A = this chain, B = another copy of it.
Amino acid sequence: MARTPLRSDLIEQITTRVLDRRLAAGARVNEVHLARELGVSRTPLREALIGLADRGLLVSAPGRGFLVPPFDPDEARRLYPLVAELEALALRWTSPVELAGLPDALDVVSDEMAAALAHGGDLSALDDRWHALLLSRCPNPHLLRLIEQTKPLLKRYESAYFARDGHAGESIGEHRRIAAALRDGDLAAASAVLVANWVKALAYLGKDEK
């Protein structure tokens, strides 16, 4: 039997399709077509769709299946501060001993981002890596789960964001300031900059949305 359930892979694949808009906002999900396209039966597909609906990446319309929620600027305005506060909380709940060595590791990623900014690279993926690393020492698995489940919602809105190189440089600077604050043991300052980093991302986002 499958050592990893099909629904896990499917959740990833469908998430990707929502994020790159192959599954367009507002569109209904046709289970038969999608199952055929993904090469699985409807059963594990539905399991994945239900999981995604629980996370808010899809919505379930009783009797009408699942659909991709339309874009809503208000939703973005609520998701960014939410993720910001959740990450800040995770950071504050990481004890000093667990933070040992983290600032250096973070700055390594920041260097990579700077290089990617100069030579052209996947800034968004590096940004993800930086944030994942920041939270990697947090001992509260439930909080981490909430963050993991919420971030994909936000990425729908973020997609066009890191194309704006202007803010990428700014963001790298903030990341370095966070690492520096962590070196000083100043969790409050670090989490404040972290929240500001997210909120600024939201501000830039607003410019792109039609």
Contacts and interface: CB of A to CB of B under 8 A. Distances in A.
A3 interface: yes
Interface in A1-46: 1-5, 7, 43, 46
A134 interface: no
Interface residues of A, number: 35
A62 B142 contact: no
A67 interface: no
Contact of A51 (B5, B54, B82): B54
B89 A85 contact: yes
Interface in A60-114: 60, 62-63, 75, 78-79, 81-82, 85, 89, 93
Contacts of A47: 46-47, 50
A138 to B, nearest CB: 10
A4 B61 CA distance: 10
B62 A5 contact: yes
Contacts of A50: 7, 47, 50-51
A3 B54 contact: no
Interface string A142-153: 110110011001
Nearest to A150: B142
Contact of A142 (B2, B56, B89): B56
Interface of A: 1-5, 7, 43, 46-47, 50-51, 54-56, 60, 62-63, 75, 78-79, 81-82, 85, 89, 93, 139-143, 145-146, 149-150, 153
14 contacts: A3-B62, A3-B63, A5-B60, A43-B43, A47-B47, A50-B50, A54-B55, A75-B142, A78-B139, A78-B140, A78-B141, A142-B150, A142-B153, A146-B150
